[in-house]
A and B are shown apart, each in its own frame.
Chain A
């Protein structure tokens, strides 16, 4: 069966510091991968998606970037965090063709 892992689960970072969140999928090949953010009082916002190695689509212009160095690895990064980057970051993959989205455990980021 397919599983998706994210780390770290929780982190507290100062404003201006860098960020790296990692996501790995097991049990499937060439998955479509997604980064969502859930900020306090707001819905799930799609940040990036990837249909293959090196292929990244950005949904929202922001202080973040994403990379897909391997088929089942998806990384979310920032060079300098802002207070507004605080939130719950969720990596997900989607089944084909039913289009069901499955999430990892999430990474909770607090920027101080």
Chain B
């Protein structure tokens, strides 16, 4: 069974610091990895996608993938109060037709 695990939090980080969010997945044939941000009462918004081992940077966000350890992480630099949200890790298992499997999300709080 495909599983994606995240610490539910809340994770509290001071403003301006680095927030580190982690995710592990169970299926070794996973091919695509995503981070979504979800504000309370809103639908999830895609913020990062990563497909190969290593780091991918986009502005203040860096996604890290280690397929050998089945581990994905998201770093948010210079955290802002507007980054306070639930962050969902999602994994695709190839082909795309059967959608993505999501973790339950980590609730991030940026303290001013």
A residues bordering B, Cβ < 8 Å? 32, 34, 36, 42-44, 46, 49, 51, 57, 59, 88, 90, 92, 94, 96-106, 108
Contacts and interface: CB of A to CB of B under 8 A. Distances in A.
24 contacts: A32-B97, A32-B99, A36-B102, A43-B88, A43-B102, A44-B44, A44-B88, A46-B99, A49-B97, A51-B97, A57-B98, A94-B99, A94-B100, A96-B96, A98-B49, A99-B32, A99-B92, A100-B34, A100-B49, A101-B34, A101-B100, A105-B43, A106-B42, A108-B41
B17 interface: no
Contact of A101 (B41, B99, B104): B99
Nearest to A102: B46
A42 B99 contact: no
DSSP majority for the A interface?
strand
A103 B65 CA distance: 24
Contacts of A92: 99
A51 to B, nearest CB: 6
